Structure 1
Amino acid sequence: MDGNNTTTISEITQPLFTRTTWSIITFLITLMIVITAGGNLLVIIAFATQRSLRNFSDYLILNLAVSDFIIGSFDSSIYAPYVLTGTWHIGRAPCLLWLVFDYVTPAASTYNICLISLDRYIQIAHPFWARSHRTDTMLFVFLLIPWLIPALLYMPLILLWEPISGKINMPPGQCFVPFFDNMPVLLVGVVFEFFIPFLIVGILNVLVYVSVRKRSRGLQVLTATNSISVQPGASTEREPSMSVYVISNTDPISHQQIQTNGRLRTFPSRRRFANNNKDQKAATSLFIIVFVFGICWMPYEIAALIRSVCFDCVGDVEFEITFWLLWINSTINPFLYPFLHSRYRRAFNKLTRCHRNSVGPYPIA
C-alpha cells in the first residue's frame, strides 16, 4: 500500500468529535455495550435455569445469544476506546485477535438467524418431518455451521494476508483488516455475510407466511363446510337425524370427528386452531427479526462497498454510524425474544421473581 493510502486510513481513527460530543457518544456506546451484553446474558441464564427452554429451537436461540453476547462484551467494548481516541493501544497480536472475533461473531449471528428461520419453516410447513429428523446430530450441525463458515472464510484472510502478500498494510497504532481496500475480497464477504443470508431468510419468511396462510384458509373452509352440513333440520327420511361427538383416537390433536345423520365428518379441533394461531405469531416474530436484521446490516455493507471503490464518498462519521448500527442488531435481538415468544416472557418473569425473592426482606413461598 502506498503512503497516500496509509495516511488516509490513519485519518479514519483520529478523534472525530468535540469534547461535548465525545462525552455524549461515550455514554451512548457504554449504554449500548451494557444493554447488549446484559440482555443476551439474561437469555443465556434463562436457558441454563429454565428447563422449559431446552428444545431444539431454543438451542438455536442460545447460539444466537452467545454470538450477540460476544459482540457486546468483547467486540464493541474493545473497539470503543479505539474509535474514541483514534489510536490502538494494546498491540498487534490483540488487534488480529479482535479482528477475527469482529468478523466471525457478527457473521455467526447472521447465520444463526438463517438457521432459526429454516427451523421455523420446517416446523410449520413440514411438522411430521421435523418430529422425526430434528435429532441431536442435526442440532450439532446447526450449532456448528454459523461459527464454522465465517471462521473458515475470515481467519485465513486476517491472519495470513500480510505474510502471504509480503506487505505490511497496518501502520503502528492502527487496527484494521489488511484487505480493507481489496474490492473482490470485500465483495465476497458482503455476499456471504449479508446478501445470501438476507435472501435465505427473506425466502423462508415468505414460505412460512404462505404455509400459515394456506393452513388458515383450509381450517376456515373445513369448518364452514361441515358447519353447514350438520345444521339442525338437515336430515332426510332415509337418514335418521342423530348427532354424536366422537374424538378421533388416531390423531386427537389435529381434528375431531362428528357422526351426524349416519355420516362421519371431520372438524378441526380447538387444539389445531391454537397451533395455527401459534404458527401465525411465529411467522410474525420471524418477519420482525428479519426486518430488524436488514435495517441494521444493509447500511454498513453498502457503505463498506462504496468505500472500497471511492474512499471519500462516505464520510468518517457516517461510516462509523453504519458500523455501530450493525452491532445494534445484537442489542435488539434479546429484547425480541420475550416480546415475541411467550415461553421467554414466562422464563424472564420467573428470573425476575427469583431475584426479588432473594433480595427481599421476606421470602415469598
Structure 2
Amino acid sequence: MDGTQGPSLCFPNLNSSCRRLLRPRSETALLYTLLAFISLLTVTLNLLVIISISHFRQLHTPTNSLLLSLAVSDLVVGLLVMPIEGLRYMETCWLLGRLMCALTPYVSYCLLSASLGNMVLISVDRYVAICDPLLYSFKVTLNRVKIVICLCWTCSLLYNGCILMGHLRNPGRFSSCHGECVVVISHVSGTLDLVFSFVGPCAVMVVLYMRVLFVALSQVRLLQSQTAVSIVIAAPAAKKSERKAARTLGIVIAVFLMCFCPYYYPALAGEDTSTSSSYYAVLSWIMLTNSCMNPLIYALFYPWFRKAIKFILTLRILQPNSRDLKIL
C-alpha cells in the first residue's frame, strides 16, 4: 500500500514537539536516491580535482592552487552540507540538536562564501594572465596565492560570523516548537549580504571576463592586420578564440546567476530570509548545486584534468615516480 499517512510528531515524548509531514514511501525513496546521487557526484568530482592537483607536481601552479581551494570548499559542501540539508528536507524535522542547529548554517554559509570568493580570485588570476602576461609570473606567485587563499577563508569566517551572530548566540529564538531549526536573516542584513555576496562578486567577474574577452580579440585583430599570410593563418584561430572566450564567459556567468540569483529572492523582494519559508528548500538546493557545477566548469574543460582522471582511474598514480608524470 502506498498511501500518504497523516502528520506525526518529530519527538513523540514531548508535548511541544513539531509535527512531521510523512510522504509516500515511493516518493521518499526516490528523493533520498536523488539527494544521495547529487551529494556523491559533488564529492567525487571535487575529490578528483583535489587528487589531480595535489598528486602531480606539474600541476602545482598558482592557478591550480585556486582551483584546489575551490574544490576543497565544494567537496565539504557535498560531504556535509548536502546530506544535512537533505535530511532536514526529507524528515521535515530538525533531529541533530541545538549545537548542530547553531553550527550547521554557519559552516554552510562559510563554505559557500569561500567557494564564491575562490571563483572571483580565479577570474582575477585569468585577467592578469591575459592582460599582463609578461609580468604575470612576477605578480602572481605560489606563495602570494596561498596567502590570498588564507585571507579569503578568514574573511568568509568573519563575515558570516557577523551575519549569523544572533543565531549563533541563540539558535532556538525563532523556533516555535521542538524539532525546528529556523535561521532568520533580517532585511537589512540580507540586503548587505546581497551586495557583498552576489552583486559585488558578479559585477567583478563580469567586468574582468569582458576585459579578458576584449584584450583577446584585440590581440587577434592585431595579428590579422600584420600581413596577408597572417590573415589567412589567424582567421580560423580568431573565430575559434572568439567562440571559446564567449563560451567560457557565458558558462561562468550563466551558471553563477542561475544558482545564486534565486536564493536572494527574499532580499530582492524586501523580505526577511528565513529557513522556515515554504520555498527555502528549493532556493537552497539550487544554490548548493553550484558546488557540483564548479568542477565541471573550471576543471573538466582542461585537457590535463581529463588526462589526470585516466591516471587516477587506472591506478597509475600508485606507480613509483607517478608524481613527476607529464600532464600538461
8 Å contact kept, 1:205–1:286 = yes
Task: Report 1:298-337 matches (<5 A).
Answer: 298-303=261-266, 305-306=268-269, 308=271, 316=278, 318-337=279-298
8 Å contact kept, 2:53–2:68 = yes
Pair 1:275–1:75, CA change in 2 (3 A)? farther
Distance between the aligned counterparts of 1:18 and 1:167, measured in 2?
30
Distance between the aligned counterparts of 2:313 and 2:264, measured in 1?
38
Superimposed CA distance per residue, residues 9-29 of structure 1 (whole angstroms, 9 cap, x where no aligned partner)? x99x95385443332221111
What TM-score do you get using the length of structure 1 for normalisation? 0.72
Distance between the aligned counterparts of 1:73 and 1:332, measured in 2?
15
User: In the alignment, what sits opposite 1:288?
Assistant: 251
Q: CA RMSD in A?
A: 3.4
Choose which of 308, 315, 322 in structure 2 pairs with 1:347: 308
Q: Residue 217 of structure 1: CA displacement?
A: 0.5
Q: Residue 126 of structure 1: CA displacement?
A: 0.7
Choose which of 43, 48, 60 in structure 2 pairs with 1:42: 48
Q: Residue 207 of structure 1: CA displacement?
A: 0.7
8 Å contact kept, 2:20–2:93 = yes
User: In the alignment, what sits opposite 1:247?
Assistant: none
Q: Residue 216 of structure 1: CA displacement?
A: 0.7
8 Å contact kept, 1:100–1:154 = yes
Distance between the aligned counterparts of 2:269 and 2:26, measured in 1?
30
1:32 aligns with 2:34: no
Task: Give the partner amino acid of 1:78.
Answer: I
Pair 1:14–1:89, CA change in 2 (3 A)? same
Task: Give the partner amino acid of 1:222.
Answer: Q
Q: Residue 279 of structure 1: CA displacement?
A: 9.5
Pair 1:114–1:283, CA change in 2 (3 A)? farther
User: In the alignment, what sits opposite 2:14?
Assistant: none
User: In the alignment, what sits opposite 1:168?
Assistant: 173
Percent sequence identity is 26
8 Å contact kept, 1:39–1:331 = yes
Task: Give the partner amino acid of 1:302.
Answer: Y
Residue range with higher mean Cα deviation, 337-346 or 21-30: 337-346
Task: Report 1:1-365 matches (<5 A).
Answer: 15=21, 17-161=23-167, 163=169, 168-171=173-176, 172-177=178-183, 180-224=184-228, 227=229, 281=244, 284-303=247-266, 305-306=268-269, 308=271, 316=278, 318-354=279-315
Secondary structure of the 2:225 match is: helix
8 Å contact kept, 1:216–1:276 = no
Pair 1:105–1:167, CA change in 2 (3 A)? closer
Q: Residue 124 of structure 1: CA displacement?
A: 0.4
8 Å contact kept, 2:186–2:273 = no
Distance between the aligned counterparts of 2:187 and 2:124, measured in 1?
31
Pair 1:223–1:321, CA change in 2 (3 A)? farther
Secondary structure of the 1:340 match is: coil
Task: Give the partner amino acid of 2:123.
Answer: S
Q: Residue 131 of structure 1: CA displacement?
A: 1.8
User: In the alignment, what sits opposite 1:252?
Assistant: none
Secondary structure of the 2:300 match is: helix
Say which one has the larger Rg: 1
Task: Give the partner amino acid of 1:292.
Answer: V
Task: Give the partner amino acid of 2:205.
Answer: V
Pair 1:151–1:113, CA change in 2 (3 A)? same
Q: Residue 67 of structure 1: CA displacement?
A: 0.6
Q: Residue 57 of structure 1: CA displacement?
A: 0.3
Secondary structure of the 2:32 match is: helix
Task: Give the partner amino acid of 2:315.
Answer: C
User: In the alignment, what sits opposite 1:263?
Assistant: none
Distance between the aligned counterparts of 1:341 and 1:214, measured in 2?
24
Q: Residue 168 of structure 1: CA displacement?
A: 2.5
Distance between the aligned counterparts of 1:159 and 1:112, measured in 2?
24
Distance between the aligned counterparts of 1:41 and 1:56, measured in 2?
19
